[in-house]
Amino acid sequence: MKNKFMNNSISAEVMAAFLDGNATAQESAEIIGALSEDAGLRELLHISRAVDAELGLMHQQSDLIPMTAMAATCNEDSYCSLECEKYVLRMLNIDFDEEQLLANAIQNGWQKRNGTALYNVGRHLEEQGLVVMRRYESSVDDIIGALNMGQNIIVAVDGGELLGDRTYEIAEDILLGKMPDHTVVVLSVDPDAKSVTIYDPNSPNPKDIYPLEQFEDAWNDSKNYMVTIATSDMKTYIPCPIDLSDVELADELNELREAIAENAHDVWAAERQAQGWTYGAKRDDLKKETPCMVAYSQLPESEKTFDREMAMNTLKLLTKLGYDIVKRKK
């Protein structure tokens, strides 16, 4: 009986060879070509990857935050992020020197030869005194809300899913993982027409309209990363920390919680002492006195809890970003 996941033109033997990395170039091309048309085949590959991850044969990437991914897809060089930020500056009628902007980006490490890390998108705008906020796991409603507030928006996407070959992009997502490699400026969203208008540095058009579904598919590759830009007179600030509730740390890291928290307090206290702060029964900014200028063991539980959470959330964030924390052998 035919496997319900199998494409009629692809045998089980060929699929097995492909999954093991032993398929011929022609066989691989046939499978990749079938991916865009056959949902069952795509499901089979997703299941295979999930099983391999469960067995430890590969690293599961689906829950990682691609903060260090590089926005590098552009018609010339790897300046898509820079081009988006220049576009926003022009929209806000802010004068700038293009050569100086690029020089500053390179000097500060925001612009690398292979692009701009997602966490650095918007740095040029910060230098211009604009209010820049970054968040992951956003929604189209978040975009609409920001636009209604008069904010400008840059999002990270898989550039190929907007202008590239759909067959190849589907295969890339399944076989190589989601790859946010491009940034665009969102200009408007039409919920009724289910469309999005964007400025894309890769496109020859000043504005491009895409079906909402296609845009969301490309945007999902970045875990829905959104950078909002507002003028300094806009004081609305809504913190959007990365959700770390699904991250479980190894037992040895949990055991280090108290040591990490204590050191964090000592670092804080040393900096405060260098600024002239001393102990005081009540906080007094004019006298530079604070009741927290004591040893960690003397802190109230509320302060210890704050230090513990900060320490552990930092470790969890590193895990969420795809880093492994491994103790060196003696």
**CA angle 218–222–227, rounded 5-degree value:** 105
265 SS3 class: helix
At residue 293, φ and ψ (nearest 5 deg) are: -80, 65
Helix (H) or strand (E) run with residue 66 in it: none
Domain ranges of the chain: 12-54, 70-230, 251-320
Nearest to 208 by CA among 181, 92, 218: 218
Q: Enter the DSSP assignment of 296.
A: G
What is the residue-level pLDDT of the chain in tens, covering all 330 positions?
A: 334 444 456 777 776 776 665 666 566 667 666 765 666 666 666 566 555 555 544 444 457 888 888 888 765 567 899 999 999 999 999 999 989 999 999 999 998 888 899 999 999 999 999 999 999 999 999 999 999 999 999 999 988 888 766 665 665 655 555 678 899 999 999 999 999 999 999 888 889 999 999 999 899 999 999 999 998 766 667 788 888 988 888 888 888 889 999 999 999 999 999 999 999 999 999 999 999 999 999 999 999 999 999 999 999 999 888 888 888 776
* Fold classification of 251-320 (topology level): Globin-like (1.10.490)
Whether 70-230 and 251-320 share one fold: the answer is: no
* Fold classification of 70-230 (topology level): Cathepsin B; Chain A (3.90.70)
- Other beta carbons less than 10 A from residue 214's beta carbon: 14
Predicted pLDDT at 2: 38
For the chain, where are the E strands, in sequence order?
A: 70-71, 116-117, 131-135, 152-157, 182-190, 195-199, 208-211, 226-230, 278-279, 289-290
Whole-angstrom distance, CA of residue 227 vs CA of residue 202: 19
